[in-house]
Structure 1
Amino acid sequence: MTASHKSIKDIIPALPDERIDMLAATSVLQQQATEIRTQRVNWQSYLQSQMISQEDYSFIVAFDSADGPTRDTLLKKSRNQCAKTFLNLLGHVSKDQTIQYILIMIDDMLQEDRSRVEIFKEHAAKKRETVWGPFLNLLNRPDGFIVNMTSRIIAKIACWGRDLMEQSDLHFYLTWLKEQLKKNNNEYMQSVARCLQMMLRINEYRFAFVAVDGISTLLAILSSRINFQIQYQLVFCLWVLTFNPLLAEKMNKFNVIPILADILSDSVKEKVTRIILAVFRNLIEKPQDAQVSKEHCIAMVQCKVLKQLSIFEQRKLDDEDIVEDIDFLNQKLQASVQDLSSFDEYATEIKSGRLEWSPVHKSAKFWRENASRLNEKNYELLRILIHLLESSKDPLVLSVASFDIGEYVRHYPRGKDVIEQLGGKQLVMQLLAHEDPNVRYEALLAVQKLMVHNWEYLGKQLKKEETQGTPAQGTAVKA
């Protein structure tokens, strides 16, 4: 594969507090590395016990004691020996403390000069081996520092080299990163996220990450309680993904806008605010399909992003990027409000899964004009409503979804058959036994609309009953 990713830095600007060198925040890994650097290794003992060769000993002693310029000269002269020695040591030394020290040496060497990743690639090519094997094997070690420092080195070789990581190794590594993110109380979370931040700057790696269900993982973690640094890093990963127009178009199918809008309203950290606004801007600017951009705008309006923007405007913000993004979003969202049809608003609300008693639900005019539109795109909106009946635990969502299904049946002649075929009737009937009285009531109305033909008469009867109190769960249903 060619290095078509070399221009990536021109496409994605670095934010003030996010540098590609991954050293912006002091992580547990970096703190431990500082400590381990002071514990020098007795290479002589490894030579005497014949665990390493004279050749490897001579190189590692020279390398370990060299300063920056001397090390540079040594690497120019002994390029192949460098890779050979480091890989021999990683393969033959078993002591965790020594492996930790060797990995720090490799990481520091790469950090000094990115082009040095080619040292390992050239060595692997000469031996007709993959560069990844020795490093990927280390990810199975039990020591947390070893696996996370190795992960850091893998990310650098994958991102700074001339060639991209091969698909099978890439799939393995990205899956490993994803699982590390999901690990409970992972003290190396910052380091894992930083590796991902690097990887996702490269377009080809983004699609591979999406293929391992990466976006859902990021959003699941962002929906839980995490500190602002991890919030920032994971939202940064989403931001980088949205630079690809295809991924920007797909992004809100994962409910990214409601989740980020919630974080935006709670966040007190400017860096988190900035990166979320940057994601929102990309979700409007990057999609090539204007309809998708419009849907994203509506979703932001419904998630009360405009209100947040007005709060930010009242603050004195020094960051020009934030001010510019606020102006851009304000302009786009205000324009979308003006163009908003009631059906656009309704469809976006359904797709968000966050149903509430917004005016469209109770509007008879809306249902008369739009009931048949729920059949569009192979009953997309109806399928979502039915899925919500099955999956949601929120009584408000269940109540509104039940009501909407009843109104669809009432206003669309074949609605009853469609709902039955999609499995909606059975789910509504199950809600007759729900613990929440409002859910039971809306489910009862929907079931009656599904089973009784003369709804107008029924509606008058129900209104009479309502004035006398909410109908009991066991009200008889006439076929």
Structure 2
Amino acid sequence: MTMDHAELTTEQVLRRDIPWETYMTTKLITGTGLQLLRRYDKKAENYKAQLLDDDGPSYIRVFVSILRDIFKEETVEYVLALIDEMLTANPKRARLFHDKSLASEDTYEPFLRLLWKGNWFIQEKSCKILSLLVSARPKVHDGFTTNGETSDSKKKVTTIDDVLKGLVEWLCAQLKKPYHPSRGIPTAINCLATLLREPLVRSSFVQVDGVKLLVPLISPASTQQSMQLLYETCLCVWLLSYYEPALEYLATSRALPRLVEVVKGSTKEKVVRVVVLTVRNLLHKGNFGAQMVDLGLPQIVQSLKAQAWSDEDLLEALNQLEEGLKDNIKKLSSFDKYKQEVLLGHLDWSPMHKDPIFWRENITTFEENDFQILRVLITILDTANDPRTLAVACFDLSQFIQHHPAGRVIVTDLKAKDRVMKLMNHENGEVTKNALLCIQRLFLGAKYASFLQV
């Protein structure tokens, strides 16, 4: 595809002169079609609006028949530009394509075909137009409607299912390998943010593994343009958060950590709102609640609540989220609670630290994720300033050494000794006492443990 076509604008295309008369002489458009085009083409906006109000479906019929019968690229681009201009001025005009008088026309087919066949200008416009047509179609009770129904049963008609599946395929193709370097992905996300309201689009999108294509786009934005893309991506995730089969994809991807990262650093109200609403939806599903506590969401919600938001829905959602997270923390097991404390880096003498039963029952759980919690505990010795936190961390290390069969070896391998030694000179008595206990356990081993209990 040449870049000159990629950079075309609707305004540039509409400056062209199309030789409609020639098409009539070669019978590619009818006499009536020519008359309608002459009346409409190159006229003022308000005049065209009047024509569409009076006789909209007739114009749609002409436009669709040209796209069906004429393959000259410049003409195809021109008609798409006319339709784009008409729908941009008033998106409700998409309903004209579904007028009863067009029941025998297959109005979806040309756009669906052009989605794959044309240059970037043609593809982008076809995608935008199809998305609007789909959203404007009359809803029927069984959730299924064809367009262009015909009494001739042999004639293959493009159904709404064909259109939605075709669109999802094209949109995912853009997310994987955009046909246009800067506009492929924003175009796809923009359409998905509208189309994912459709149950059929949600299921097709999940079936083709589309959810994981959204996840990399959830990242803090700096420019206005990237902010809009981030907002629309989060809107897509919010729509998917209502759809059960999408949840396992969201749970096994990095979607939640990325959403938390975005909400932590974003000042744009609409972005914060859509992320908070998404997270609120996910809170009570699967393992999301525990993950949220792991990621420090309770603290983030606290600081968000302290900011001045004008949106009532956002404030209400933050309150619900705060309550939901509190309930979640209450339900966590004692080890989950311990893990939260360590991951948040604020340790205190809560009962479990000095409870031998807690250590006996949970000692093997410390082995999860390559001793993740133990490693964080050791890092706290370097990074914490709070004396209470440092004292508790030293005490917990000594408990681990005492209760784990290979405790001394593991703690030594993780280079904890030097860090604890440094703390033996700490100005706070509680810290030095617990650092000493830890070092004695490290050197003397478990058989002397009973003499050293604090």
Fold in common (TM above 0.5): yes
The CA distance in 1 between the partners of 2:289 and 2:417, in whole Å, is 44
Give the 3 Å change call, closer, same or farther, for CA 139–47 of structure 1 in structure 2: same
Between 295-304 and 217-226, report the one with greater CA deviation. Answer: 217-226
The CA distance in 1 between the partners of 2:410 and 2:279, in whole Å, is 45
Between 66-75 and 195-204, report the one with greater CA deviation. Answer: 66-75
Which residue in the other structure is 2:191 paired with?
195
Which residue in the other structure is 2:434 paired with?
none
Which residue in the other structure is 2:141 paired with?
none
The CA distance in 2 between the partners of 1:461 and 1:319, in whole Å, is 55
> Which residue of 307, 328, 331 maps to 1:315?
307
Q: Which amino acid aligns with 2:83?
A: I
The CA distance in 2 between the partners of 1:71 and 1:463, in whole Å, is 78
Give the 3 Å change call, closer, same or farther, for CA 63–29 of structure 1 in structure 2: farther
Give, in angstroms, the shift of residue 250 of structure 1.
Answer: 6.1
Is 1:113 equivalent to 2:113 in the alignment?
no
Q: Which amino acid aligns with 2:251?
A: N
> Which residue of 18, 30, 35 maps to 1:53?
30
Alignment of 1:318-397 (within 5 A): 318-344=310-336, 368-369=360-361
Q: Percent identity?
A: 24
The CA distance in 1 between the partners of 2:94 and 2:117, in whole Å, is 26
Which residue in the other structure is 2:257 paired with?
258
The CA distance in 2 between the partners of 1:240 and 1:467, in whole Å, is 46
Q: Whose Rg is larger?
A: 2
Give, in angstroms, the shift of residue 232 of structure 1.
Answer: 0.3
The answer to whether the 8 Å contact 2:6/2:119 transfers is no
> Which residue of 298, 305, 314 maps to 2:290?
298
The CA distance in 2 between the partners of 1:179 and 1:348, in whole Å, is 40
The answer to whether the 8 Å contact 1:118/1:161 transfers is yes
Q: Which amino acid aligns with 2:104?
A: K
The answer to whether the 8 Å contact 1:249/1:283 transfers is no
The answer to whether the 8 Å contact 1:298/1:336 transfers is yes
Give the 3 Å change call, closer, same or farther, for CA 31–467 of structure 1 in structure 2: closer
Is 1:43 equivalent to 2:20 in the alignment?
yes
Which residue in the other structure is 2:113 paired with?
137
The CA distance in 1 between the partners of 2:96 and 2:282, in whole Å, is 36
Q: Which has the higher contact order (CA 8 A, sep 6+)?
A: 1
Q: Secondary structure at the match of 1:318?
A: coil
Which residue in the other structure is 1:70 paired with?
51
Give the 3 Å change call, closer, same or farther, for CA 242–118 of structure 1 in structure 2: same
The TM-score, its normalising length taken from structure 2, stands at 0.64
> Which residue of 178, 181, 184 maps to 2:172?
178
Give, in angstroms, the shift of residue 38 of structure 1.
Answer: 4.7
Give, in angstroms, the shift of residue 142 of structure 1.
Answer: 4.3
Which residue in the other structure is 1:268 paired with?
267
The CA distance in 2 between the partners of 1:461 and 1:197, in whole Å, is 53
The CA distance in 1 between the partners of 2:264 and 2:73, in whole Å, is 45
Give, in angstroms, the shift of residue 149 of structure 1.
Answer: 0.8
Give, in angstroms, the shift of residue 318 of structure 1.
Answer: 1.8
The TM-score, its normalising length taken from structure 1, stands at 0.61
The CA distance in 1 between the partners of 2:15 and 2:408, in whole Å, is 83
Q: Over aligned residue pairs, what C-alpha RMSD do you find?
A: 4.2
The CA distance in 1 between the partners of 2:279 and 2:27, in whole Å, is 59
Give the 3 Å change call, closer, same or farther, for CA 319–462 of structure 1 in structure 2: closer
Give, in angstroms, the shift of residue 372 of structure 1.
Answer: 9.1
Q: Which amino acid aligns with 2:98?
A: E
The answer to whether the 8 Å contact 1:242/1:282 transfers is yes
Q: Which amino acid aligns with 1:221?
A: L
The CA distance in 2 between the partners of 1:181 and 1:220, in whole Å, is 10
Q: Which amino acid aligns with 2:315?
A: V
The CA distance in 1 between the partners of 2:205 and 2:276, in whole Å, is 23
The answer to whether the 8 Å contact 1:29/1:191 transfers is no
Q: Secondary structure at the match of 2:116?
A: coil
Question: For structure 1, which runs of at least 5 residues remain unmatched after alignment?
Answer: 1-27, 285-289, 350-354, 375-381, 386-396, 404-454, 470-479
